[in-house]
Chains A and B, each alone.
Chain A
């Protein structure tokens, strides 16, 4: 190592990894239902898609976690987005492609993707 720039490069590369190990109370939380029903319906690729996107956009301060069965197994994979100070948004029947769209429009753009939410699915 001959310069501060090299040190900074290692730091930035590692920050995304090590930064996950803290309690972030004011982060946006994306929670993916990962019970048997969720996994069977294909929740794993959804989860992994969100994890990758969150790591790519560290400036958005998003933490991706999993949870058990929410009780609406027919709508799995279910994803909940909780932004601090806003109402929870529940997306249903998710796929990795839809996940990318939600991340881009909702998390980055601030607009809820209404057609994938549980409210629309009910109609």
Chain B
């Protein structure tokens, strides 16, 4: 009889910090100490607190161990599992208070979260279908196809107020209605798992931690619109997600939850995987469909929308991974339960991948309407190293920045659009005072220039020109009229591009111009980068009064630009200096300045 469950994170983050080796060591040690029958070791999906990985939770106590190594395993087994003594030194310090161990839900990181899409991530073993069924998995599918009419399903989704989690925020029920209304013998259900925003990993974590939730929802969608075939388009760079999806699909087929005559009805539904090669544009729905069809991933004009003429010319619905992860819960708990969370027009929760200059890097799921301040300060643990919060970027290269002055904005689709950003798929990159906003805009533009598929001129040529102007400014050759050019060009690109990639590519430029125009002006008029990032505009100098002549800087300089005699002030040769900053880090006397 199993009395204790050891959950080890098998998400991509913890896997790269060797959690599979820890699991193997754990199993070996448990067998060695003779308690293999009493303890079960489970590899789960992502717990969310990736910054502290590899993560291990032991139930029923709910003890949360962070940064576990193979060397810690023997101690955990003999102390915790055999003798019942918590290994305090490995416990996540937020759960330790006055010598007592708090439950995980009382910590800042988890307290304000509300897990719907991520409910099984870090709880079940994603490679065992029975564990999913044990948490009410496939109950919603059973209920839908044995008790409900397709239109009832669509009505429930409409009533719940669920909107697309991939970024656009289109009402999911309405999308399903369009596809259901299209008359055709063949229809398709597609899952967009081509998560491409730099810094976003929500969809990957759901696929890794709870793949059956996506399969179940796709089958429900198939029943609702009258489709019998589904495709999941997932990027090949997600090998763990791909493997777990393959396992999940074959287990579901074995159980008859995919295939012919599901639950003895005449409903048939099966799912295939398609691996994407990693082009950002393939996250755009029409490009994704074109890629599944076996062609080069290029977008096509809309209308006709996919709901009318989609995959292989047939009516198709295409939803994002996180959208699907909400569906079964809505069916089981009812649309009112879902719409009771969130704001007036944005219902439910949203998963964010928290990254950048933040203490708790990881995955968080919060009710819509939570303020940016709560996410950054309470859940994220604030900006590290005593730095000040400057701005947060949502929506990746398609989104915009939210400046510190708007930190109390409740996060939902409409509020973000109103302040010039967008929800996007959920990447949330936090920036501190060391980030140059012009450089940030340039970074995202470099990304979109690379990823533009080249089919339409506004995006292909327009983004390149935008980037050239930004480079001119960061090189100290900008003129004030460049700012007007940037704005004018950005608006042309937005209105004339064929697909979402081009239509949103100028957003980082426009939003940084809106909130941080003074930084652009400083680059142009004063030839100065206020954050000290743009290399062409900064120079390093040694303050002679403070320099003790210890020679540390001269020894660390990779290009030999620093010279001077021992115990005498040194000098930096600016023509040789490559502005790497190594000397500043090495100097113990704060004698080097960066201007």
Contact = CB atoms under 8 A, between A and B. Distances in A.
A3 B262 CA distance: 9
A66 interface: yes
Q: B60, B83, B139, B142 — which one has the most chain A CB atoms within 10 A of its CB?
A: B60
Given A2-B263, A10-B133, A51 B3 contact: yes
Interface stretch (B123-131, B293-301, B345-353, B420-428): B123-131
A115 to B, nearest CB: 26
A18 B3 contact: no
B255 A1 contact: yes
Interface stretch (A30-38, A81-89, A93-101, A104-112): A30-38
B138 interface: yes
Interface in B72-91: 82-85
A2 B263 CA distance: 5
Contacts of B93: none
Contacts of A1: 255-257, 263
A23 B1 contact: no
Interface in A1-47: 1-4, 7, 10-11, 13-15, 17-25, 32-36, 39, 47
B134 interface: yes
A18 B131 contact: yes
Contacts of B1: 48, 51-52, 55
A68 interface: yes
Nearest to B261: A2
B264 interface: yes
A36 B83 contact: yes
Interface string B123-161: 110000011011111110010001000000000000000
Contacts of B566: none
Interface in B256-281: 256-257, 263-264
Contacts of A67: 84-85
A48 to B, nearest CB: 6
A64 interface: yes
A45 B263 CA distance: 43
Contact of A20 (B5, B85, B136, B257): B5
Interface in B218-274: 255-257, 263-264
Contacts of A25: 103
B2 interface: yes
A63 interface: yes
Contacts of B3: 47-48, 51, 64
Nearest to B254: A1
Contacts of B138: 7
A65 interface: yes
B547 to A, nearest CB: 57
Nearest to B125: A18
A46 to B, nearest CB: 11
Q: B3, B7, B131, B139 — which one has the most chain A CB atoms within 10 A of its CB?
A: B3
A52 B2 CA distance: 8
B61 interface: yes
A15 to B, nearest CB: 5
A36 B78 CA distance: 11
Nearest to A4: B142
A23 B103 contact: yes
A10 B132 CA distance: 10
B433 interface: no
A43 to B, nearest CB: 9
A23 B61 CA distance: 8
Given A4-B146, A48-B1, A63-B60, A11 B84 contact: no
A11 B142 contact: no
B84 A34 contact: yes
Contacts of B146: 4
Given A39-B83, A67-B84, A18 B263 contact: no
Given A1-B263, A18-B123, A35-B85, A23 B104 contact: yes
Please name the 5 residue pairs, one residue from A and one from B, whose CB atoms are nearest each other, closest first: A14-B134, A66-B84, A34-B84, A51-B3, A18-B134
Given A11-B134, A22-B123, 13 more contacts: A1-B256, A1-B257, A3-B264, A4-B146, A4-B263, A7-B138, A18-B131, A21-B59, A23-B62, A32-B84, A35-B85, A51-B38, A55-B1
29 contacts: A1-B263, A2-B256, A2-B263, A4-B142, A10-B133, A10-B134, A11-B137, A13-B130, A13-B134, A14-B133, A14-B135, A15-B134, A17-B131, A18-B135, A19-B134, A21-B123, A22-B59, A22-B62, A23-B62, A23-B104, A39-B83, A52-B1, A64-B3, A65-B60, A65-B61, A66-B84, A67-B84, A68-B83, A68-B84
